[in-house]
Amino acid sequence: MTTIKLHNTRTRTKEDFVPISADNVRMYVCGPTVYDRAHLGNARPVVVFDVLYRLLRHTFGADHVTYVRNFTDVDDKINATALARQQAGAEGTLEQLVQERSNETIGWYLHDMGALGALEPNEMPRATQYIAQMIAMIEDLIAKGHAYAAEGHVLFAVDSWKEHYGELSGRSVDDMIAGARVEVAPYKKNPMDFVLWKPSTEELPGWDSPWGRGRPGWHIECSAMSYELLGESFDIHGGGNDLMFPHHENEIAQSKCAHPHGEFAKVWLHNEMLQVEGKKMSKSLGNFFTVHDLLEQGVPGEVIRFVFLQTHYRKPMDWTEKKAREAEATLRKWRALTSGIEPAASAAPAVIAALSDDLNTAGALAELHRMERQITRQKTASNEPVDLLRGLLQNFLASAQLLGLLTPKMGEWADTDSVDLTAHAGRLADARVIAMQSKDFSEVDRLKAAYLAAGLEVRMSKDGVELVPGAGFDAAKLEGV
């Protein structure tokens, strides 16, 4: 069995990954707050941890990995969207509108992430289904002297955990106070103390608790749900590096104080952020877009995934249109190459080795390119046995599928078999012959425009006409041309 090495944020070193129990390797990843469509940056951790999930399943067996990713469905942003809808005339109570919004957003999320080839985690708990467990954990923290109630709020007392608070992100409490935008409130004993429970108004979602009607703070969710589903010690905790502080520090403080004999998460993995054409993605820069936007523009989910995999997860990933075009061309070529081929039982050892080295997806793709060159050489060496070529192709396909690429499910976009491009090229060639005589080029122009609109590249020379699928090719648009 290949040893997996992972960079552990907690120790700042690349370590051999040894699960607590190889029978049940357990991973928790912080999921989305479900108030709107996932933007492209939200998708990065999904793809990163999907690759890790696939690697763990490959290494330990598909039935021996438990992957949990939560949905935060209680949050001020969801409340704000529901309130806006109510003000715009939507029917129902605010609580119903909040729930509708959450359900709708979860549906979008699963669809969009599925389009990127992400497997669904084994468990996708919603925060609102674990309120009782959160209340129990908060009561336990108060009993143990790590939390206190004040003015309808319950706060975690950072001083009670001062010697460890900040260990993950490598900051001291004093540094954090100096650097962070901490919310100063009269009911806080220390400005760094964070909310475990807060009061709710009558209209907003709320639950009865020993501290009055209210709702949980964000951080306690992950502590309560990971404990319920994975236990007091589990193997891997993941998320974007923007969550390291304060969210993950707070999760550690809560979980370690509530369950002092547990380890909480042994290995912490954090992915770097995403940029667009070299700039931070932001609404103010006008370069903000969702996964859904890209899919609607005809960028296949598989292409997005391929572009993501080209950059190591601990480096900033730059999304560019050029990369997307190149990825599309590569995937078309690879799909044509493996058409009609069944994957081998396992991926190539070099691809597994690259992934096992702290998820070196760029290295794994480089290995796939090397295999492709070998296959091309094999094809031209006609005196070599056909079986050898078939074996190489099967290996290549299994390796790509370990990365979540070239899977049958994701291939529809590249399927050009259903349209006869040669026939279309013939029509355009015939129209050109007629136009040369009649001097009326309107039909030629019409066909050319239709083919371009369908995402085809039109190559016209005196030798003939060729139609080549380009970025965003959509066979459906050829109907009725």
Q: Are 465 and 432 in contact (CB under 8 A)?
A: yes
Binding segment for Zn ion (CB under 5 A), chosen from 24-32, 275-283, 294-302, 370-378, is: 24-32
Identify which of residues 30 and 118 has a Cβ nearer to Zn ion in the complex.
30
Separation in Å, CA 286 to CA 128, 275, 276, 289, 290: 34, 13, 10, 9, 12
Rounded least distance, CB 32 to Zn ion, Å:
11
Identify which of residues 72 and 105 has a Cβ nearer to Zn ion in the complex.
72
Separation in Å, CA 351 to CA 122, 203, 319, 354, 397: 25, 54, 24, 5, 11
Q: And the tokens for 459?
A: 């190559």
Residues 6+ apart with CB under 8 A from 392: 371, 374, 375, 378
Binding mask 175-214 for Zn ion (x = CB under 5 A): ----------------------------------------
Binding segment for Zn ion (CB under 5 A), chosen from 81-89, 219-227, 333-341, 376-384, is: 219-227
Cis preceding-peptide flag for 45 (omega within 30 of 0): no
Among 4, 6, 27, 30, binds Zn ion (CB under 5 A): 30
Rounded least distance, CB 16 to Zn ion, Å:
26
Instruction: Tell which phi-psi region holds residue 358, choosing left (phi > 0), alpha (psi between -120 and 50) or beta.
Output: left
Rounded least distance, CB 72 to Zn ion, Å:
8
Residues 230-249 that bind Zn ion (CB under 5 A): none
Identify which of residues 168 and 400 has a Cβ nearer to Zn ion in the complex.
168
Among 94, 196, 222, 304, binds Zn ion (CB under 5 A): 222
Identify which of residues 217 and 469 has a Cβ nearer to Zn ion in the complex.
217
Residue 68 contacts Zn ion per CB under 5 A: no
How far apart (Å, rounded) are the C-alpha atoms in residues 1 and 296? 42
Pairing state between β 214-216 and 233-240: unpaired
Rounded least distance, CB 216 to Zn ion, Å:
12
**Hey, which residues does 286 pair with through a beta bridge?**
none
Rounded least distance, CB 303 to Zn ion, Å:
29
Residue 55 contacts Zn ion per CB under 5 A: no
Q: Are 255 and 227 in contact (CB under 8 A)?
A: yes
C-alpha R_g of the chain = 27
Binding segment for Zn ion (CB under 5 A), chosen from 9-17, 172-180, 217-225, 432-440, is: 217-225
Residue 220 contacts Zn ion per CB under 5 A: no
- How does DSSP classify residue 248? I
Residues at the contact surface with Zn ion, assessed by CB under 5 A: 30, 222
